[in-house]
């Protein structure tokens, strides 16, 4: 996934179509010069529709599309003919896209299945023709209903990545290096904090042709839930992950404390994240020998399964994939 092309947030102004007016028409033929009302209904205004597309992974194509307007419905006509519907506008979005009201922040809907369609802004209803208003006391109504106005307003489309495993760690914890080591993804890697400025996705091949998806988000720092660093904007991508893989380097001053800070940030952002299965990978383990690693083991945080790994040497990467697959599938 090219970081420069990854857009996970757009704000757009949407306007649905106005409904067509009903017709106040009367039947007039040579054989029936004074026929009754036969005015048809107006067509509904066009909807603004969101459609999930599994082939998309970014909202980049909507970044510069600030104003969306659907077509108006056409008026009804004689012989009970209904007017044509207004032209719908369909916005293709990646799976995992959430639609929100820009003013209230309220979630309108989310699309998670390929081809799923939801109406973001419904078109106005078409007006009723005069045929609907005839009665025993008014056999020739000369009026019809006007079409309903369309709706307009600002909407936010926000992408939450759909991945099986989410990598959680401080900047420079080795998340991008792991992703590059076990997937075909090519994230930007360097020995300084905040190398990752955009989320990255990678497909991890497993035994017998099976696989799972792993997501690397920018590193979290203490206070991320309050807007510090880059973490706040991207924490939402963790919400859809089935498993959280915490990553702390082996040379951290206190591995247990670092893990506790990461868990605390997730809890402050969304307590429900702590209900997800967790696994701790202690990275860069190749810089210590086996004896030193065994001495470290008692100081690791309790209550979470852990594993020493090295993405550079390949140490325990197969065991890590086995553990992840077991936790994902309950095997």
Examine the domain organization and report whether 10 and 97 are in the same domain. yes
Q: Are residues 154 and 202 in the same domain?
A: no
Q: What is the pLDDT of residues 157-180, one digit of tens each?
A: 998 877 899 898 888 778 888 988
Radius of gyration of the chain (CA): 29
Residue 192 is predicted with a pLDDT of: 43
pLDDT of amino acid 193: 43
* Spatial CA neighbour of 199 closest among 166, 177, 223: 166
Cβ pair 210, 321 in contact under 8 A: no
Q: What is the CATH number of the domain that holds 282?
A: 3.40.50.300
What is the reported pLDDT for 265?
Answer: 84
Q: How far apart are CA 22 and CA 147, in angstroms?
A: 7
Domain limits at 97?
1-159
Predicted pLDDT at 185: 58
Q: Residue 49: which pLDDT band, with cuts at 50, 70 and 90? A: very high
Instruction: Extract the tokens encoding 192.
Output: 């300084």
CATH number for 61:
2.70.210.12
Residue 219: pLDDT band with limits 50, 70, 90: low
Question: H/E element holding 271?
Answer: none
Same-domain check for residues 134 and 31: yes
Domain count, the chain: 2
Domain boundary among 159, 186, 201: 159
Using an 8 Å Cβ cutoff, are 276 and 165 in contact?
Answer: no
pLDDT at 233: 60
Same domain, 203 and 125: no
Kindly tell me if the per-residue pLDDT of 304 is higher than 80. yes
* Chosen domain end from 159, 192, 208: 159
Q: How far apart are CA 177 and CA 192, in angstroms?
A: 12
Residues 15 and 137 in one domain: yes
Asked if 136 and 176 sit in the same domain, the reply is no
H or E segment and range at residue 124: none
Q: Are residues 86 and 201 in the same domain?
A: no
- Which of 96, 126, 159 is a domain's end point? 159
Q: 206 falls in which pLDDT band (50, 70, 90)? A: very high
Residue 196 C-beta-side C-alpha neighbours within 13 Å: 30
Same-domain status, 169 and 67 = no
Same domain, 37 and 136: yes
Same domain, 101 and 239: no
Confidence of residue 34 (pLDDT cuts 50, 70, 90): confident
Same domain, 152 and 215: no
**3-state DSSP assignment of residue 52:** strand
Q: Indicate if 208 and 228 belong to the same structural domain.
A: yes
């Amino acid at each position: 996934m090219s970081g420069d092309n990854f857009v996970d947030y757009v704000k757009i102004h949407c306007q649905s179509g106005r409904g067509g007016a009903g017709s106040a028409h009367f039947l007039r033929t040579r054989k029936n010069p004074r026929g009754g009302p036969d005015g048809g209904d107006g067509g509904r205004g066009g909807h603004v529709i969101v459609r999930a597309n599994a082939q998309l992974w970014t909202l980049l194509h909507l970044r510069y599309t600030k104003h969306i307007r659907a077509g108006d419905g056409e008026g009804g006509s004689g012989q009970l003919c209904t007017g044509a519907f207004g032209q719908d506008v369909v916005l293709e979005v990646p799976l995992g896209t959430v639609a929100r009201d820009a003013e209230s922040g309220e979630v309108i809907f989310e699309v998670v299945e390929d081809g799923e369609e939801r109406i973001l802004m419904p078109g106005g209803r078409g007006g009723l023709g005069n045929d609907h208003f005839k009665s025993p006391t008014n056999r020739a109504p000369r009026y019809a209903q006007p079409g309903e106005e369309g709706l307009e307003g600002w909407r936010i489309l926000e992408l939450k990545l759909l991945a099986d495993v989410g990598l959680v760690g401080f900047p420079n914890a080795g998340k991008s290096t792991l992703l590059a080591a076990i997937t075909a993804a090519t994230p930007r890697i360097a020995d300084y904090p905040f190398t990752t400025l955009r989320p990255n996705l990678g497909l991890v091949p497993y035994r017998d042709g099976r696989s799972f998806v792993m997501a690397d988000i920018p590193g979290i720092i203490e206070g991320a839930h309050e807007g510090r660093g880059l973490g706040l904007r991207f924490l939402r991508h963790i919400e859809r992950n089935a498993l959280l893989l915490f990553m702390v380097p082996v040379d951290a001053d206190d591995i247990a404390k670092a893990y506790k800070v990461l868990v605390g940030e997730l809890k402050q952002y969304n307590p429900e994240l702590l209900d997800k299965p967790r696994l701790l990978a202690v990275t860069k383990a190749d810089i210590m020998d086996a004896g030193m690693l065994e001495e470290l083991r008692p100081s690791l945080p309790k209550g979470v399964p852990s594993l020493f790994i090295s993405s550079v040497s390949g140490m325990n990467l197969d065991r890590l994939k086995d553990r992840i697959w077991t936790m994902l599938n309950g095997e």
